[in-house]
Protein backbone atom coordinates (compact mmCIF):
# COMPACT_ATOMS: atom_id res chain seq x y z
CA UNK A 1 0.00 0.00 0.00
CA UNK A 2 1.40 3.39 -0.96
CA UNK A 3 0.72 6.40 1.22
CA UNK A 4 0.58 9.80 -0.47
CA UNK A 5 3.24 12.36 0.41
CA UNK A 6 1.79 15.18 2.48
CA UNK A 7 3.20 18.65 2.55
CA UNK A 8 3.20 20.81 5.64
CA UNK A 9 3.83 24.54 5.64
CA UNK A 10 7.49 25.52 6.02
CA UNK A 11 6.93 26.77 9.59
CA UNK A 12 5.23 23.65 10.96
CA UNK A 13 2.66 24.18 13.65
CA UNK A 14 3.23 21.67 16.46
CA UNK A 15 -0.50 20.86 16.37
CA UNK A 16 -0.37 19.91 12.66
CA UNK A 17 2.60 17.61 13.29
CA UNK A 18 0.77 16.00 16.21
CA UNK A 19 -2.29 15.46 14.00
CA UNK A 20 -0.12 13.70 11.40
CA UNK A 21 1.36 11.47 14.12
CA UNK A 22 -2.13 10.67 15.41
CA UNK A 23 -3.20 9.79 11.88
CA UNK A 24 -0.22 7.45 11.52
CA UNK A 25 -1.10 5.75 14.82
CA UNK A 26 -4.82 5.43 14.11
CA UNK A 27 -5.95 1.79 13.93
CA UNK A 28 -2.34 0.52 14.10
CA UNK A 29 -2.38 -2.83 15.92
CA UNK A 30 1.09 -4.21 15.18
CA UNK A 31 3.89 -2.12 13.74
CA UNK A 32 5.84 1.08 14.25
CA UNK A 33 5.69 4.80 13.60
CA UNK A 34 9.08 6.38 12.93
CA UNK A 35 9.57 10.13 13.18
CA UNK A 36 12.63 11.60 11.44
CA UNK A 37 14.00 14.93 12.69
CA UNK A 38 16.61 17.16 10.97
CA UNK A 39 17.90 20.35 12.57
CA UNK A 40 15.22 20.18 15.25
CA UNK A 41 12.31 19.87 12.79
CA UNK A 42 10.15 16.87 11.95
CA UNK A 43 10.78 16.10 8.28
CA UNK A 44 9.26 12.64 7.88
CA UNK A 45 6.71 10.36 9.54
CA UNK A 46 6.79 6.73 8.46
CA UNK A 47 4.23 4.07 9.33
CA UNK A 48 5.13 0.38 9.14
CA UNK A 49 2.28 -2.02 9.71
CA UNK A 50 2.50 -5.76 10.27
CA UNK A 51 -0.30 -8.20 9.69
CA UNK A 52 -0.11 -11.37 11.75
CA UNK A 53 -1.59 -14.44 10.18
CA UNK A 54 -2.53 -17.39 12.32
CA UNK A 55 -2.58 -20.89 10.96
CA UNK A 56 -5.96 -22.57 11.20
CA UNK A 57 -6.04 -25.78 13.19
CA UNK A 58 -5.63 -28.69 10.86
CA UNK A 59 -4.17 -26.56 8.06
CA UNK A 60 -1.46 -28.34 6.13
CA UNK A 61 -2.26 -31.74 7.65
CA UNK A 62 -3.13 -34.64 5.46
CA UNK A 63 -5.16 -37.56 6.67
Residue 56 lies in a domain: no
The more confidently predicted of residues 59 and 41 is: 41
pLDDT in tens, 9-56: 545 688 999 999 999 999 999 999 999 999 999 999 999 999 888 887
Residue 34 lies in a domain: yes
As for how many domains the chain has, the answer is: 1
Residue 3 lies in a domain: no
Residue 27 lies in a domain: yes
Domain of 26 in residue numbering reads as 14-49
For residue 21, the model assigns a pLDDT of 95
Q: How far apart are CA 53 and CA 29, in angstroms?
A: 13
Residue 23, judged by CB atoms within 10 A of its CB (0-12, 13-18, 19+), counts as middle
pTM summary value: 0.62
Using DSSP bridges, classify how beta strands 31-38 and 41-49 pair: parallel, antiparallel or unpaired. antiparallel
Residue 5 lies in a domain: no
For residue 1, the model assigns a pLDDT of 44
Residue 57 lies in a domain: no
Amino acid sequence: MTTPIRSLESNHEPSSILREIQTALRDLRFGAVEITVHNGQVVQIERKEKFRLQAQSGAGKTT
